[in-house]
Amino acid sequence: MKYTTILFDLDGTLTDPAVGITGGVAHALDYFGNKYDSRKQLEEFIGPPLREHFMEFCGVDREKGEEYVAKYREYYATVGIYENKVYNGTEDMLKALKGAGKKIVLATSKPEKFAGIILEHFGLMQYFDFVAGALMSNSRTKKDEVIAYALENIGEYDKNSIIMVGDRMHDVEGAEKFGIDTIGVTFGYGTYEELYDSGAKIIVDTVEELKAELLK
C-alpha cells in the first residue's frame, strides 16, 4: 500500500538544529556548573526529550531537570531557535509530497510552540496539515505520546497507510508502538546502526532518496 500520511520528525530530519540546541544546552550547563568536553558532545541532546536527557547527563532529579530546561529556553527561545537551517532539498520534497496528495504531519518532541515558529520562519508551515509537539509544561515529550496526539487529530486512518520519518531510535520505537512503519535518515543525528537496530523498515542517506521512497 502507498503511504498517504507522512509523520515527520523535525530536528535532524527536516532541519539541522545543532548550533541552536547545543548553544542552549551549553547555556544551561554553564549556569549550573556542569562540565562537558565540547559543543560536539552536546549534539547527543538533539532528539531525546530534553528534561530526561538533562537528568541523565547531569545526574539530577526531575525537579532539577525542569530548572535546566528553563535555563536552556532562556537562550533557545530568543537566539537558538533561529540558529537553524533547513536541509537542502527539504522544501522541494515537501512540495512534491503535497502535490501528490499526501497528508503531511509534524511529530516532534520539541515544544509545539517552537516547532511552529521554525516552520513559519522557513516558510514550511504551508505544507503541513497538522503540527504535533510537546507542551511547554514538559509533558507530551516522548515520541509515542506525540504520535498518539497526532493520530487523534488527523481523522480516520489506516496504520498501514502511515509512515514515520526520523533520524533517531526514539522515532522508530515511538512509531512501532502503533504498528506504524518508519524510514530512518542518516543525514541527521542517529547512525545507521542505531536506526537498523531499533527496527527502521527503510534507511536512506539523502533527502533525495527520502523523497523517492515517499513518492513510491
Judge whether 12 and 188 are in contact, CB under 8 Å.
yes
Per-residue burial over 118-151, b if 16 or more Cβ lie within 10 Å, else e, is bbeebebeebbbbbbbbeeebebbbbebbbbbbb
φ/ψ of residue 109, rounded to 5: -85, -5
Per DSSP, the three-state class of 184 is strand
> Phi-psi region for residue 129, left (φ > 0), alpha (ψ -120 to 50) or beta?
alpha
Query: DSSP secondary-structure letter at 87?
Result: P
Q: Which of 9, 11, 16, 181 is catalytic?
A: 9
**How many angstroms separate the CA atoms of 26 and 51, rounded?**
14
Is-catalytic flag, 9?
A: yes
Cα distance between residue 197 and residue 155, in whole Å: 32
Planar angle of CA 113, 105, 75, nearest 5 degrees: 25
The cell for 105 is 504531519
Cell numbers describing residue 22: 547545543
The catalytic residue positions are: 9
